[in-house]
Amino acid sequence: MRRLEGKIALVTGAAVGIGQATAQLFAEEGAHVFLADCNVAGVEAASAALSENGLRATPVAADVARGQDVTQLFRTIASNAGKLDVIVSNAGVNVRSDLRHLSDADWVRIREVNLDGVLRIARDGLPLLQASGRGSLINVASIMGHRGLRQLGGYSATKGAVLALTRALAVEYAAFNVRVNAISPGFIETAMTDRALRMPAIKQGLVDKTVMRRLGQPIEVARVALFLASEDASYVTGTEIVVDGGMLAAL
Cα angle 241, 246, 248 (rounded to 5 degrees) comes to: 75
251 or 22, which is more confident:
22
Query: For the segment 177-188, what is each residue's pLDDT rounded down to a tens digit?
Result: 999 999 999 999
CATH at residue 177: 3.40.50.720
Cα angle 115, 63, 181 (rounded to 5 degrees) comes to: 40
In a domain, 1, yes or no: no
Catalytic positions are 155
Give the three-class secondary structure for 59. strand
Query: For the segment 119-175, what is each residue's pLDDT rounded down to a tens digit?
Result: 999 999 999 999 999 999 999 999 999 988 888 899 999 999 999 999 999 999 999
- Under 8 Å CB-to-CB from 115, ≥6 apart: which residues? 158, 161, 162, 165
Number of domains in the chain: 1
Q: For residue 163, what is the enclosing H or E element?
A: helix 153-173
Domain around 31:
8-250
pTM score, whole prediction = 0.96
On average, the pLDDT of the chain sits at 95
